[in-house]
Structure 1
Amino acid sequence: MSTGTPASGGFGERLHGLRTAAGLSQETLAHASGVSVRALSDLERGRSRGPQRRTVQALAGALGLDAAGARELERAAGLGRP
C-alpha cells in the first residue's frame, strides 16, 4: 500500500512526518493504533482533517509521543475540526 502524499500543512503533514520519523509504515501504525490504513491515508492526505480526540490519542500512543507531543498533535487536529 502507498504511503500517500501528505497534505500541505496541518494535521496530515504532521502525522506523516511523525510516522516516517518513527520508521513506521501506515500498516504498522494502523495495527498499533487501531486506526484503519485507509483512515490513516485519508488523514495524511488531508481528506479527513479533524479526527476525533480518541483517534488522535490512539495515534499519539502508537507513535510513542510524550505528553507535549500528544498535545501538539491534538492541537493540529483541532484546527481541522468544524
Structure 2
Amino acid sequence: MSTAAPVAEEFGRLLLTLRTRAGLSQERLSHAAGVSVRALADLERGRSRGPQQRTVQALAAGLGLDEETAAELERAAGRGRPRPRPAA
C-alpha cells in the first residue's frame, strides 16, 4: 500500500507513461528538462504532491508534448498543489 496521495500518484503515473512513450530514460529527460534525476524519480513515484508550473512546463518541453498533452500534465500537477485557505 502506498503512502502517497492519490493526486500525486496520478501525476506520477501520467509522467511515467509520457516519458516511456517518448522513449526517454529518466536521465535523458532529466537532462532535457533541467530537472534532477532524483526529483524526476520522486515525481514518478508520487512522492511530490504537485510540481511547480515552471517544472511541469520544462518536463513538457523535454518530452516534446503537444499543447493538449502538456495542458493535461499541468492539470494533473495542479490537482496536487495545495490551495491557499481564505483568512477566517
| TM-score calculated relative to the size of structure 1 | 0.88
2:85 alignment partner in structure 1: none
Aligned to 1:80: 80
Partner of 2:33: 33
How far does the alpha carbon of each residue in 1:23-46 deviate from its partner, in whole angstroms, 9 at most, with x for none? 100000000000000000000000
| Unaligned ranges ≥5, structure 1 | 1-6
Q: Cα RMSD (Å) of the superposition?
A: 1.3
How far apart, CA to CA, are the structure 1 residues paired with 2:23 and 2:17?
Answer: 10
1:15-62 deviations in Å (ceiling 9; x for gaps): 000001111000000000000000000000000020000000000001
TM-score, scaled to structure 2: 0.82
Q: Look up the SS of the partner of 1:69 in the other structure.
A: helix
- Amino acid across the alignment from 2:81: R
1-structure distance, mates of 2:36, 2:78: 20
| Aligned counterpart, 2:18 | 18
Amino acid at match of 1:61: A
Structure index of larger Rg: 2
Q: Which runs of 4+ in 1 moved over 6 A?
A: none
Distance 1:21 1:67 in 2: 16
- Identity, in percent, stands at 74
**Number of the residue aligned with 1:70:** 70
Query: How many matched pairs?
Result: 76
Q: Which runs of 5+ in 2 are unaligned?
A: 83-88
Please name the residue that 1:47 is paired with: 47
8 A Cα contact 1:15 1:44, kept in partner: yes
